[in-house]
Amino acid sequence: MSELPGDAARVDHDMDDTDTADPRVAALCERVRRLAEAEGDESRRALERQAQEIVTAARSRTDAENTAALQGEEARLRKQAARELQNARLDARASLAAFRWSQLQGVLDETQRALEDLRAHDRGRYAAALLRLFHRARAGLPNGPLVVRANADDLQILRDGLETDSVDPVHYVEDDLPSGLVVSTADGNIVCDQTMDRRRARLLGELQLVASEALFPGHTDADGGVDAR
C-alpha cells in the first residue's frame, strides 16, 4: 500500500514534537525528584534533631532524678546517723546515771546499816541522837504537854535521857515504829515525825547531793550526774 505524502509529513511532525518534549519532561522530573529528596533530607534532619532533643531532655531528667534521689538518700542517712548518735549518747548517760545512782544508793543503805550498828553497839551516841531529835521536834511545837511515840527500845532510851532534862510534861506511847520517834501535841493536831526513815525521806535530796559530791567530785546532772529520783 502506498503512503500518502501528507500522512508522512504528519507522522514526522508528531515524532519531532515527542523528541523535543522528552528533555524538558526529564529535566522537570529530575527537578521534582531533587526537591523531593531535599525535602526528605530536611524532614529527616528535623526528625533527628527532635529525637536528639527528646533523648537529651530524658537524659537530663534522669540525671536530675538520680541526683535528687542521691541527695535524699544522703540526707536520710545523715538524719539516721544523727539519731543513732543521739540515742547512743542518751544510753551512755542513762547507764552512767544508773551506775552513779546504784553507788549512791549503796552509800545511803550503808548509812542506814551504820545507824543500826550505832544503836546496837554504841548506845551512848545513839541516845544523844534521839535526844537531839526530840529537842528539834519540841522546838517546832507549841509549849504544853507532848506525846512521844517510839518503839520500846527507843522509848526507854529517851525516858532515861529526859530524866535529867527539864521539859514540858511528856506522855510516852509505845508504838511499832522504826528507829526514831514521833512527837505531837497532846491533842494530836500538830505532829513532828522524827523517825529515821522519815528524816531520810525528807533529807534525801540533801543527802544525795552530799554523797554525790563526795563520790563524784566535779560532776553535775549536765554531764550525766546522779538523778535525784
pLDDT in the model for residue 152: 92
How many domains would you assign to the chain? Answer: 1
CATH number for the domain harbouring residue 114: 3.30.2320.30
pLDDT in the model for residue 166: 57
pLDDT in the model for residue 44: 72
Please state, in angstroms and rounded to a whole number, the distance separating the CA atoms of residues 53 and 38: 22
| Domain presence at residue 58 | no
| Domain presence at residue 112 | yes
pLDDT in the model for residue 15: 43
| Domain presence at residue 32 | no
| Domain presence at residue 156 | yes
Beta-carbon neighbour count of residue 69 at 10 Å? 10
| Domain presence at residue 122 | yes
Mean pLDDT by 10 residues, the chain (229 residues): 45 45 71 72 74 76 80 83 85 77 71 76 86 90 91 89 73 89 92 85 71 67 43
Q: Which residue range is the domain that position 219 belongs to?
A: 90-223
Burial track 70-84 (b if 16+ CB lie within 10 A, e otherwise): eeeeeeeeeeeeeee
Cα within 13 Å of Cα(206), Cβ side: 5
